Amino acid sequence: MFTGIIEAVGEITALDNLGQDIRLSVQTGKLDMSDVNLGDSIATNGVCLTVVDKGDNYYKADVSQETIKHTGFAHYNRGSKVNLEKAMRPDSRFGGHIVSGHVDGVGTVEQINEHSRYVEIWVKAPDSLAKYIAHKGSITVDGVSLTVNEVKGASFMLWLIPHTLKETVIGHYKVGTQVNLEVDLIARYLERLMLGDKAANPESQVISMRFLAEHGFLK
């Protein structure tokens, strides 16, 4: 489990082919690796990866074909910058929101508008995720816990302060950049809970306008 508060920006130094999978090597920058053990989790651009090898300033993790298919790892190369966060401790400060490290989809940066004290960024999410993105709700973008400031269909807007731009890879975004998205975990559970007893029926897995009307949520 993570909080979405980035601890360091790392750099991919190798992507070694393991058949259909890859072994990722990451130079960890200022991330403190002294308390990281083999088998621990590190969120890498929002993707929960298991450490299989480590040193004072690097770690290696295996990335499956499934992860490559459903995240931005398909677009990463040697030299790509990545946000890093170690798994949260039960006695640490919870500064962001609940982040699982399980990416729901890949979005695309649509607009970047610079203002005097912040940068406005619009991201287009996959249509299937639009229902989980709410005004003033939380969303994870490349592992960063952020607040949604405006929503238009499947597109949403973020305001980024200078500190966030400096301390994360968001400062390197350009129009067209592919980003990992994880929606608010509470929204996922709420959708499931609203199915009630029908959750056990494979044919009742999608909440539709008809479903909401039948159960008194719409008038």
- Give 109-143 pLDDT, tens digit per residue: 999 999 988 999 999 999 999 999 999 999 999 99
Residue 33 near residue 55 (C-beta atoms within 8 A): yes
Q: Residue 205 above 60 pLDDT? A: no
Please state the rounded mean pLDDT for residues 16-27.
93
CA 91 to chain centre: 23
Q: How far is residue 119 from each of residues 53, 106, 116, measured CA to CA in Å?
A: 37, 21, 8
Residue 12 near residue 77 (C-beta atoms within 8 A): yes
The two three-digit tokens of residue 27, written as one number: 């130079």
Q: Residues with Cβ < 8 Å from 42, sequence gap 6 or more? A: 36, 48, 49, 51, 59, 61, 84, 85, 86, 87
Enumerate the H helices of the chain as residue ranges.
65-70, 162-167, 185-194, 209-214
Q: b/e per residue, 23-44, with b = 16+ CB within 10 A?
A: ebbbebeebebeebeeeebbbb
The DSSP symbol for 130 reads G
Using 50, 70 and 90 to split pLDDT, how confident is the model at 148?
Answer: very high
pLDDT > 70 in the chain, percent: 91
Helix-strand-coil percent breakdown of the chain, rounded to 5? 25, 40, 40
Residue 218 near residue 209 (C-beta atoms within 8 A): yes
Please state the rounded mean pLDDT for residues 146-175.
96
Q: Residues with Cβ < 8 Å from 54, sequence gap 6 or more? A: 33, 36, 37, 38, 60
> Which architecture characterizes domain 105-183 according to CATH?
Beta Barrel (2.40)
Q: Residue 96 above 90 pLDDT? A: no
Using 50, 70 and 90 to split pLDDT, how confident is the model at 217?
Answer: low
* Comma-separated ranges of CATH 2.40.30.20 domains in the chain: 8-86, 105-183
Given the candidates 2.40.30.20, 3.40.50.620, 3.30.70.250, 3.10.310.30, the CATH classification of the domain at 8-86 is 2.40.30.20
**What is the pTM assigned to this prediction?**
0.87
Q: Residue 160 above 80 pLDDT? A: yes
Of the listed ranges 58-62, 163-167, 185-189, 204-208, the one predicted with least confidence: 204-208
